[in-house]
Amino acid sequence: MDVAKTTSVAQVQVVPRRARTDQFSTASFILPAVLIILFLSIFPLLVSLYVSMSRLQFARGGVELNFVGLANYAKLLVGIDQTRFLGKFGTPNIFGWLVLGLVALGLAYWIVQYIRTTRVTAIGLAGRLILAVFAMSLALLTVLTLADGGRPGTLWVTLFYVYVGIAVQYALGLLLAYLCAQHIPGRRFFRVVFLLPMMITPVGVAYMFRMMVDTSVGPLAPLWVVLGLRDVSWVNNPWTARGAILVSDIWEWTPFMFIVLLAALESLPTEPIEAAVVDGANKWQIFREITLPALLPVSTTLILIRMIEAFKIIDLPNILTSGGPGTATESMTLESYFVWRALDVGGSAAVAYLLLFVVTMVATAYGVLVRRRVEVEY
Amino acid sequence: MRLFRVSNASLYTPRPVGMLITYIVLIFWTVVVLFPLYWMFVTSFKLPIQVDSGPFYIPFVDFQPSLHAWQYILFGDLANDTRRQYLNTVVVATTSTILVMLIGSAAAYGLARFHYRPRLGMIVAFILCVLLTVVLAILRVPVQFGILIGVALFVIAMLTIVKRFHRSLGNNDIAFWMVSQRVLPPVAVVIPIYIMFQQLKLLDTWPALIITYVAANLPIVVWLMRDYFLTIPIELEECAAIDGASRYRTFWSIVLPLAVPGLVATFLFVLVFAWNEYLFALFLTNANAQTLPVSIAAQNATRGPQWWYMSVLVLIMILPVIIMAILLERYMAKGLLVGAVKG
C-alpha cells in the first residue's frame, strides 16, 4: 500500500493548465474524498486523543468530560489495568533470559550495521532506535508474560492472533494456490470453494466454530471421545480458547491469501520456468528459485494488508469466548469495547490509541525493513 | 493477465504420484471449508432436542428434519425483526458501496490523471489551527468560539504567512495519506463519531452507518481504482478533451466504462466489507438501524445459543454474498492482484 513509491502518475496532462475554473474542476474530483476523510478520520482521531485524556463524569443534566492528562494511559501501562492490558509478569527461567539476550544482541547488531554501512541520517537513526526499543519491549513483554506465574494481556494476545494467524494463512494459502495453479481437472471447483470462507461474516464464522469445538454435542464429538477429551471444554482453558479463535481466523482468511497468490501464480511469465526445465531443474528447485522470488512483491503487500486488518479483530473473540476465560482471549479492540460498555469512555479511547500506536509502529517497521528491501532486489 | 498456454500444459500437469498428493490436500481443505457450512445447514433443520442430544449428521437418515426454525425466523415471531434487519443490511451495504465507489473512483481518477499541489504551508497551518481548537476545548472555551477562532486564524494565516512558503506535496503523498487511513483501527475513531452523530441526532439511523462505511472503505477504493486507472491508456481521454468533452463527462462516459472489470472487483470487496461490518454497527445502532451481524451476535446474549435459529439467520445472511462470490470469483482475484502488484 506504499503508494508513495514508483511515480507513474500521468506523465501527460489531459489539458494544459488553464484558469481557475480548471483548477476547480480537477479539485472537485478529489474534494469529496478529502472532506470525508477529514470529518470521519482525522477530526475524530484528534477528538479521540482528547477523550483518551479525560474521564467521563456524571454532572447535573448529563455527562461531562474532565481532562485528566495521561491518567488513562498510566492506568493501562502501570496502574490497575496493567494485568489486563500488558499481562501479569512472571519470573523467566534461564531460557527466557537467553532469548531476551539474543534479541537485544540482534537489535544492537542491526543498529551498528546501519551506522557502519550506509550514510547515516538523523531521522533514519532516530527511527531505527525507536523501532529497536519498540521491538525490545515486545520481546520483553513476551518473555515476562509467558514465564512461570505470568499471564499474557490483551496487547500480547492481539499480536499473537495477528502473527501466528498470518503465518499460517500465508503458508496454507501459498500451498493451496500452488496446487490449484496446476493443470488438473476440477480446479475451477476448488478455487470457488476455497474462496467461500472470506465472504462469510466473522460473526457467523464464530458461531460455526462454537458448534465445531463443542465436545459433547458438536459434530466432532465422536473424535473427542476417542481422544478422551469429551469433558474438556475448549473455551475454558486459555490456550485452547485462543487456539479456537486462531483456527477460525485462519479458516476465514486463508482464502484471501489463496486467491491473490493464485492470480499472481497464473500471471507469472512462463519462459524462465521453461528454461529451467530445459536445464533439468526439478519442481522444488523451480519453486524455490523462480516462483517464490517472483511472488515476493505480491506476498509482502498481501501480508501488510492482512496485518493491518488483523489488528482490528473483535467479532471472533467476542462471540466465541466473550473474551474469556477471564480476559485470556480478549483482543485490544474487544477490550476497548468492553471498557466503553462499562462507561469508561476515556479508558476505552486510551486502549484504542495504544492500538493505533502499535499498528502504526508495526506497519512502519514492516514498510521500512521488509518492503523496501524487496523492492530494491526485484 | 496471462494464463498458461495450452502447449505448456504438460509442464504443469503433475505426474500420478504428485497428482494423488495434490488431490488429497485439495479435497482435505475442501472438507475443512465445507463441513462447518454443511453443519450449519443441517442444524437449521433440527429440533432443539436433536441438537442437545448429541451430533446427528445426515437428515432423513439419523434425524427427521423440520422447518420449525425457518418458520420461526421468516414468518413467525421473529419475522418482523428479521425483515427489518435484513432491509437495514441491504440498504446500508448497497448505498454505502455505491457512494464510496463514486467518491473513491473520482478521487482515484483525479490522483491518476491530474497534478495536485497542495501547499505544505497550508496543511501545516490547517493542522495547527485544528490543534489549537482542540486545546481551546480542553481549556473549556465553548466549542463554537474555539472553532471560530481556529477558522479565523487559518484564514489569516492563508492570506499572510502561507504565501511565502512554496513547498508543496504531490499526488503520491495525497494517495498515501488516503490509503493509510485504512491502518486506523475503527475503534480509535468510533467514540467521536458516536458523539458526532449523537449531536446530529442521527444515531441508530441509516445515514449514520452509510456515511461511516463510506469513510471506512474509501481507502480500499482509492488504492485499487487508482492502480486500475493508471493501466488505462490516456489517448482516449485526450481525444475526448480535444472534442470538447468536460472532465466530468470524460470520466463518466469514457473512463468508467473502460474500468468496469476493476470496478466490479472493488465493488464486490467493499460490499462484502460493508455487509459483514460489525464494530461500527455495534456502536452506532440500537434497534431501528441494527444490521444482521449485530443482531446475530446479540442472539447469544439474550437467550443463550439457540443453534437452530442462529443457523437460519447466518445462512440467510451469507446466501447473497456467497452467490456473488461464486459468480464473480475471477473478477475478484484479478482486481486484487492489480492492487497488490502495483502496491
| Per-residue pLDDT tens over the stretch B308-319 | 888 898 999 999
Give A227→chain B minimum CA distance, Å.
Answer: 17
Closest Cβ–Cβ partner in A49, A201, A222 for B318: A201
Query: Is A212 an interface residue toward B (CB < 8 Å)?
Result: yes
Chain B CB contacts of A210 below 8 Å: 305
Rounded Cα distance, B104 and B2, in Å: 28
Rounded Cα distance, A213 and A233, in Å: 8
Rounded Cα distance, A348 and B185, in Å: 13
Domain-located, residue B107: yes
The string of DSSP codes covering B34-78 is: HHHHHHHHHHTT--HHHHHT----SBTTTB----HHHHHHHTSTT
Distance of CA B248 to the CA centre of its chain: 25
pLDDT of the residue at B302: 57
Rounded Cα distance, A185 and A197, in Å: 22
How distant, in Å, are the alpha carbons of A116, A219, A283, A289 from that of A272?
Answer: 37, 48, 13, 10
Type of residue found at A101:
G
pLDDT of the residue at B2: 44
Instruction: Give first-to-last CA distance, chain A, whole Å.
Output: 17
Give the dihedral sign, CA A129/A133/A139/A143: positive
Q: Do residues B165 and B119 make contact, with C-beta atoms less than 8 angstroms apart?
A: yes
Interchain pair A345, B326: CB under 8 A: no
Rounded Cα distance, A135 and A369, in Å: 13
In sequence order, the β-bridge partners of residue A62 are A59
Rounded Cα distance, A220 and A225, in Å: 9
Distance of CA A26 to the CA centre of its chain: 36
Interchain pair A217, B185: CB under 8 A: no
Smallest Cα–Cα separation from A132: which of A140, A121, A144?
Answer: A140
- In the numeric block, which cell numbers belong to residue B164? 511565502
pLDDT of the residue at B108: 93
Give A52→chain B minimum CA distance, Å.
Answer: 10
Please tell me what DSSP assigns to residue A115: H
Chain B residue with Cα closest to A184: B13
pLDDT of the residue at B154: 84
Chain A CB contacts of B26 below 8 Å: 176, 179-180, 190
Q: Do residues B26 and A176 make contact, with C-beta atoms less than 8 angstroms apart?
A: yes
Interchain pair B336, A260: CB under 8 A: yes
Query: Is A181 an interface residue toward B (CB < 8 Å)?
Result: yes
Rounded Cα distance, A106 and A131, in Å: 13
A49 CB-contact burial (10 Å; exposed 0-12 / middle 13-18 / buried 19+): middle
Give me the count of residues in chain A.
378
pLDDT confidence bin for B300, thresholds 50/70/90: low
Directed axis angle between helix B260-276 and helix B307-342, to 10°?
A: 140
Residue with cell 468496469: B260
CA atoms within 13 A on the CB side of B91: 15
Which of B23, B187, B322, B326 to mutate to probe the A interface, most A CBs <10 Å?
B187
Which of B176, B191, B198 to mutate to probe the A interface, most A CBs <10 Å?
B191
Closest Cβ–Cβ partner in A203, A267, A312 for B2: A267
Distance of CA A158 to the CA centre of its chain: 8
Interchain pair B293, A51: CB under 8 A: no
Domain-located, residue B303: yes
Beta-carbon contacts of A70 under 8 Å, excluding residues fewer than 6 positions away, are A53
- In the numeric block, which cell numbers belong to residue B340? 497488490
In sequence order, the β-bridge partners of residue A87 are A152
**Ranked by mean pLDDT, which of A338-347, B67-76, B85-94 comes out on top?**
B85-94
Q: Do residues B201 and B80 make contact, with C-beta atoms less than 8 angstroms apart?
A: no
Smallest Cα–Cα separation from A301: which of A246, A256, A342, A341?
Answer: A256
Instruction: Count H helices and E strands in chain B, helices first.
Output: 17, 0
pLDDT of the residue at A246: 93
Count of the separate structural domains present in chain B: 1
pLDDT of the residue at A328: 87
Q: Do residues A264 and A295 make contact, with C-beta atoms less than 8 angstroms apart?
A: yes
Look at domain A154-346+358-377 and name its CATH class. mainly alpha
Q: Mean pLDDT, to the nearest integer, of B212-231?
A: 90
The string of DSSP codes covering A236-296 is: GSHHHHHHHHHHHHHHHHHHHHHHHHHHHHHTS-SHHHHHHHHTT--HHHHIIIIIHHHHH
Q: Do residues B237 and B250 make contact, with C-beta atoms less than 8 angstroms apart?
A: yes
| Secondary structure (3-state) at B225 | helix
Interchain pair B188, A182: CB under 8 A: no
Type of residue found at A130:
I
CA atoms within 13 A on the CB side of B75: 4
Smallest Cα–Cα separation from A328: which of A203, A244, A247?
Answer: A244
Please tell me what DSSP assigns to residue A40: I
**Can you give the residue range of the structural domain that contains B97?**
78-116+193-342
Closest Cβ–Cβ partner in A29, A43, A312 for B110: A29
pLDDT of the residue at A9: 42
CA atoms within 13 A on the CB side of B253: 8
pLDDT of the residue at A344: 86
pLDDT in tens, B33-55: 999 999 999 988 888 888 777 78
Q: Do residues A54 and A66 make contact, with C-beta atoms less than 8 angstroms apart?
A: yes
**Ranked by mean pLDDT, which of A22-26, B4-8, B271-275 comes out on top?**
B271-275
A228 CB-contact burial (10 Å; exposed 0-12 / middle 13-18 / buried 19+): exposed
Give the dihedral sign, CA B279/B101/B322/A255: negative
Beta strands in chain A (DSSP E): 54-59, 62-67, 87-88, 151-152
Closest Cβ–Cβ partner in B113, B190, B307 for A211: B307
pLDDT confidence bin for B295, thresholds 50/70/90: confident
Q: Do residues A371 and A296 make contact, with C-beta atoms less than 8 angstroms apart?
A: no
pLDDT confidence bin for B296, thresholds 50/70/90: confident
pLDDT of the residue at B271: 92
Interchain pair A181, B179: CB under 8 A: no
Q: Do residues B188 and A352 make contact, with C-beta atoms less than 8 angstroms apart?
A: yes
Q: What CATH code is carried by the domain that includes residue B214? A: 1.10.3720.10
Buried b (16+ CB within 10 A) or exposed e, B270-308: bbbbbbbbbbbbbbbbeeebbbbbbbbbebbeeeeebbb
Type of residue found at B133:
T
Interchain pair B188, A352: CB under 8 A: yes
- In this structure, the dihedral spanned by the alpha carbons of residues B196, B273, B107 and A36, taken in order and rounded to 10 degrees, is 0
pLDDT in tens, B238-259: 888 888 888 888 899 889 998 8
pLDDT of the residue at B6: 39
Q: What angle do CA B33, B39, B294 make, to 5 degrees?
A: 85
pLDDT confidence bin for B103, thresholds 50/70/90: very high
Query: Would you write out chain A's pLDDT as a tens digit for each of its 378 residues?
Result: 444 433 344 444 444 444 456 777 888 898 899 999 988 888 888 888 888 888 877 666 666 777 888 888 988 888 888 888 888 888 888 888 999 999 999 999 988 888 887 677 888 888 888 889 998 999 998 888 888 888 888 999 999 999 999 999 999 999 999 998 888 888 888 988 998 998 898 889 998 888 888 877 778 877 877 877 766 777 778 888 999 999 999 999 999 899 889 888 888 888 888 888 888 888 888 888 888 888 888 888 889 888 988 999 998 998 888 887 888 899 999 999 999 888 888 899 999 999 999 998 888 888 877 766 665 544
Query: Residue B13 pLDDT > 70, yes or no?
Result: no
pLDDT in tens, B162-194: 667 777 788 888 888 888 888 888 888 888 898
Q: Do residues B269 and B338 make contact, with C-beta atoms less than 8 angstroms apart?
A: no
The reported pTM is 0.86
Interface of A with B in 231-270 (CB under 8 A): 251, 259-260, 262-264, 266-267, 269-270
In sequence order, the β-bridge partners of residue A65 are A56
Interchain pair A50, B137: CB under 8 A: yes
Give me the count of residues in chain B.
343
Type of residue found at A2:
D
Chain A CB contacts of B3 below 8 Å: 266
Domain-located, residue B106: yes
Query: Is A197 an interface residue toward B (CB < 8 Å)?
Result: yes
| Secondary structure (3-state) at A50 | helix
Domain-located, residue B8: no
- The domains of chain A are located at 91-149, 154-346+358-377
Smallest Cα–Cα separation from B296: which of B47, B139, B86, B153?
Answer: B86
Give A279→chain B minimum CA distance, Å.
Answer: 14
Interchain pair A267, B337: CB under 8 A: yes
